[in-house]
Amino acid sequence: MDAVNARASWEEHARQLREEVLRLKAERGAVLVAHNYQRDEIQEIADLVGDSLALARFCAASPSRLIVFCGVHFMAESAKVMSPEKTVLLPEIDAGCPMADMVDEVALRAWKAEHPGVAVVAYINSSAAVKAESDVICTSSNALAVVRALGAPEILFLPDCNLGAYVARQMPEIKVHLWPGFCITHHRVRPEDLAAARKAHPDALLLAHPETQPDIWEQADFVGSTKQIIDYAAKSPAKKFLIGTEMGVMWKLRKDSPDKTFYLLAPGMVCPNMKKITMRSVRDALAETKYDIQVPADVAAGARRALERMLAVQA
């Protein structure tokens, strides 16, 4: 088979797989949501593309009893915690978040014991068991508002030391203890990468995620979550942007702002866990009802309390 025929046959295969997914999804009355970091073809077929909180809220509000959650494990857990009566499927059971795995509930209990009475703020990138041990949850969109509403003079912030450092920088009146966790995808970007990107695109604005290190977000024109970066780019009069977050956001950036140009800040900004989910694994998830995410009732109750405290700040 020559290259042209091989490509045509591959495209036909991809088209059939996509049709099969859409047919199974309709037959099963499922809702399919995709995180901003998912593969383009998964975002294209999703009922909603967004950040972890928006997806969990959408799933809770949906009349569907079957959710296919295309993201990583802690996100599917949050959706399950907020929709305990629904079946939440994560198409790849090994799609985890290394940052979330950098702390567990045992280590958190020990940290709390070293700082009795100090409030715990957990980034949504954490397991349900860690959430259940925390006072309140935050996302990268609402971290400052959540910490402000908490009104505590001192906090334990986990697991992301970079988002925690960002909160500490914005709120110098508060003592912030940082857990030494980080995102392998964002943390690896170095000032040399930024210097090279600036040299190649001197007139582009830098939009950076707070999971990058302070020496990156300090130099950004805008710091925000995936949704905030996408919204900022759509509203900005500027035409060129350096994007300092995972490459998956490019799909929505280009869709929402087709007249603008986006450059990834560094070539390595790819989350391997987000990319584990493929059209084939979504097909298998729908065909075989897998992998059914379960959260023990007591853990779910604790995690829900901490999530609801965050939602009360947002409302």
Under the binding rule (CB under 6 A), the answer on residue 124 touching ligand CIZ is yes
126 touching ligand CIZ, by CB under 6 A: no
In the complex, the smallest distance separating the C-beta of residue 46 from ligand CIZ, rounded to whole angstroms, is 14
Task: Return the number of the residue (125 or 213) whose C-beta is nearest ligand CIZ.
Answer: 125
Contact mark string toward ligand SF4, 94..133, x via CB under 6 A = ---xxx-------------------------x--------
Minimum distance from CB of 71 to ligand SF4 (Å)?
Answer: 8
Phi, psi at 176, each rounded to 5°: -115, 120
Distance CA 258, CA 255 (A): 6
Pick the binder of ligand CIZ from 43, 134, 185, 226 (CB under 6 A).
226
Q: Which two tokens stand for residue 114?
A: 């070293």
155 contact choice in ligand SF4, ligand CIZ, none (CB below 5 to 8 Å, kind-dependent): none
- 246 binds ligand SF4, rule: CB under 6 A: yes
Q: Is 183 in the site for ligand SF4 (CB under 6 A)?
A: yes
Q: Is 138 in the site for ligand SF4 (CB under 6 A)?
A: no
Considering the complex, state which of residue 121 and residue 271 has its C-beta at the smaller distance from ligand SF4.
Answer: 271
C-beta neighbour count of 84 within 10 angstroms: 14
Neighbours of 178 (CB within 10 A): 18
> Rounded distance, CA 174 to CA 156, Å?
11
Tell me: does residue 184 bind ligand SF4 (CB under 6 A).
yes
Backbone angles phi, psi at 31, to 5 degrees: -110, 140
* Residues near ligand SF4 (CB under 6 A), total: 14
- Give how far Cα 172 sits from Cα of 147, 159, 162, 250, 307, Å: 12, 20, 15, 34, 25
Other Cβ atoms closer than 10 A to 293: 20
Is 285 among the residues that bind ligand CIZ (CB under 6 A)? no
Q: Contact, 95 vs 76, CB < 8 A? A: no
Which residues have CB under 8 Å from 307's CB, separation 6+?
Answer: 78, 81, 82, 131, 137
Residue 193 near residue 148 (C-beta atoms within 8 A): no
Q: How many CB atoms lie within 10 A of CB 173?
A: 5
Residues in contact with ligand CIZ, shown as a per-residue x/- string from 39 to 78 under the rule CB under 6 A: ------------xxx-------------------------
- Token digits for 315? 């409302």
Q: Which does 142 bind (CB under 5 to 8 A by kind): ligand CIZ, ligand SF4, none?
A: none
Q: Which is nearer to ligand SF4, 43 or 273 (CB)?
A: 273
Shortest spacing between CB 32 and ligand CIZ, in angstroms: 16
Binding site for ligand CIZ (CB under 6 A): 35, 51-53, 124-125, 139-140, 209, 225-227
Residues that bind ligand SF4 (CB under 6 A): 37, 72, 97-99, 125, 183-185, 211, 246, 271, 273-274
